[in-house]
Each structure stands twice: as structure tokens, then as C-alpha cells.
Amino acid sequence: MKVCVFGAGNMGARITEVFLNAGHDVTMIDIKPEFTERGKTVITHDYEFLVSKGKMTAERKDELLASLKTSVDRKDAADADFIMEVILERMDLKKDLLEDLDKICPAHTIFASNTSGLSITEMAACIPHRSDKFIGCHFFNPAQIMKLVEVTRAIQTSDETFQTAFDLMASLGKTPVAVKEGPGFVVNRILIPMMNEAMGIVADGIASPADVDVAMQLGAGMKSGPLHTADLVGHDVNLAIMETLYRETGDPKYRPHPLMRQMVRAGWLGVKTGKGFFDYDGPFGKEIVKK
């Protein structure tokens, strides 16, 4: 199967890695060469780490990287069987991409979005002549490790498209779950508001970020505390999801905490910027990331 991944950021690169590991030829596309080069570097570093731990041979690393192509030209997706969209969480950008791809891709191509909160049905509607070929496949960060994929149907999605995508996710070594479209799907509808509440506890001075995480790890059985998880996801993503939940439901329990907005405005987005609730350039933060 020829796979094309749009978006070479951390998530796009790791999803590309998942497809490579399963034996697919993958083209990773972004808008600038430096973006695709950075994405390829992320994948290469992951493979080099596995080689250093004896979990992958150097020959296997070279073989996998040889199956990867990078591009800045959307037309290089013209022969793709499966397209995975992992670009910024902006509906206008996603629609622009889909409308363009609709003109160049063959009739059998399946379009999938990794969106964590935007409407799958609205995206499908922008390719009306093949909206039945559109589906959501929401991976979790870090995608090369996390097993879950939420396979989300638009109202237009055909049974054939759903089953093909569901089986494909399983063939990648993932555990797919069937989800109907709804704000935040399953995990984010539960998880992101919990992170929001944890931020409120910190803002109210009830406990420090480290103590909040320890309390939830030991008291609620969480492997990773809510604030480190929020840092890992990225506060820009967290804010976008909370705003979507609030807009779609009108429920005040989904109103983003002011501290979340402040951190985004400050550029303290979490692991990807080196600073969030924890300093990831310091020894404590590095130990968290290592774990």
C-alpha cells in the first residue's frame, strides 16, 4: 500500500514511522523542505536509539529509511492508496488540502484525518463526490509507542471505508476502537477537561504541579500525571480541544482555564518548547521524558 502523510511535525513524523515499521512505502509531505528534513531527523533518531539498545539492526534501520520519501509537492500524493492528514488543527487549512487532493488522487484513495477534535463530517463534506472515503484515525502521542487509535466515522463514511481503515490500523500493531463523531471523541473528552481541572488546582495554590502529578499517579493509578501529560500533548493543542468542546457543547465545564491561555501566549507549550509545567531542559524534566 502506498501511504502519504501530510505534516512532518512530531506527530506526523511518528505516524510516518508507524507505517514504515509495518512495511509500507511512505511519502511524508510538508510545506517547507526544512520541515520534512526535521521530520526525517526525528524518525532517524528514533531508529538510532533502537539500534543503540539492540532492538533494531543497523541494516533494518537503513532498509526502513529507504522506504521513506519526502516532498513539498502535494502532487506527489497522486498515486496514494491511503492519505493520512496530520497538519495544524485548523479547519480552513484541512479543507484547502482536501479540496486540492480531491483533484489529483485516484477514486479509490482513502482520506484519513488525525484530528483530535474537529468535525470529521465537516471535513468529509468538502470532498462531496467521495465523502464516503473519508474517516478519522486519531493516534496518540507518542504515536510510535501508544497503541490506541480512535477510528471515527463521519456521517458520510461508508462501511467499506470504515472496515478498511479499522483493519489497516490493526495491521500497524495498534488497537483500534470504533467511535462515532462527537466533540473530543472518547479520550480527549475525558482527559483534556481533567488536565484543565489540574491546572485550576495549581492556579489556586492548592498543590504544586509535581505534587498534583504524584497524587494522581499514586491515588488514581495514572502512569503519567495529568500535567506532564498536558505538557506532552502540547498546551496549544489542549487549548484548541477545550475551545472545541466548549463551542460544540456550550457546557461551562469545558471552558478553558485562564492559566492554559496564559501558557500558550507565553509560548510555554510543554515538551516541544522545553517548558510547560515542568522545565524539560533541567534534570527533573529530562528524567520525566526518559520515563
**pTM of the prediction?**
0.88
Average pLDDT, the chain: 95
196 given a catalytic annotation:
no
List, by residue range, all CATH 3.40.50.720 domains of the chain: 2-180
Give the per-residue pLDDT at 116: 84
Is a pLDDT exceeding 60 seen at residue 75? yes
Give dist(CA 152, CA 186) in Å, integer. Answer: 10
CATH class of 2-180: alpha beta
Scored b (16 or more CB within 10 A) or e, 184-204 reads bbeebbebbbebbebbebbee
Catalytic member of 138, 228, 235, 257: 138
188 given a catalytic annotation:
yes
| Whole-number percent of the chain with pLDDT over 90 | 90
Give dist(CA 94, CA 278) in Å, integer. Answer: 32
Catalytic member of 21, 114, 188, 238: 188
Stretch 144-148: mean pLDDT = 96
150 given a catalytic annotation:
yes
Residue 266 belongs to what H/E stretch?
A: helix 258-266
- Condensed to tens digits (0 to 9), the pLDDT of residues 33-53 reads 999 999 999 999 999 999 999
Query: 113 near 120, Cβ under 8 Å?
Result: yes
- Condensed to tens digits (0 to 9), the pLDDT of residues 178-193 reads 999 988 999 999 999 9
Give the model's confidence band at 287: pLDDT under 50 very low, under 70 low, under 90 confident, else very high: low
Helices (H) and strands (E) in the chain, counts: 12, 8
67 given a catalytic annotation:
no
Catalytic member of 116, 119, 131, 196: 116
CB atoms within 10 A of CB 157: 23
Catalytic member of 17, 24, 150, 235: 150
- Condensed to tens digits (0 to 9), the pLDDT of residues 202-227 reads 999 999 999 999 999 999 999 999 99
List, by residue range, all CATH 1.10.1040.50 domains of the chain: 187-285
Q: In this structure, which topology does domain 187-285 adopt according to CATH?
A: N-(1-d-carboxylethyl)-l-norvaline Dehydrogenase; domain 2 (1.10.1040)
Phi-psi region of 85 (alpha: psi -120 to 50; beta: other; left: phi over 0): beta
Scored b (16 or more CB within 10 A) or e, 40-61 reads bebbbebbeeebeeeebeeeeb
> What residues pair up with 69 in beta bridges, in sequence order?
27
Give the per-residue pLDDT at 141: 86
- Helix segments in 151-186, DSSP class H: 159-171
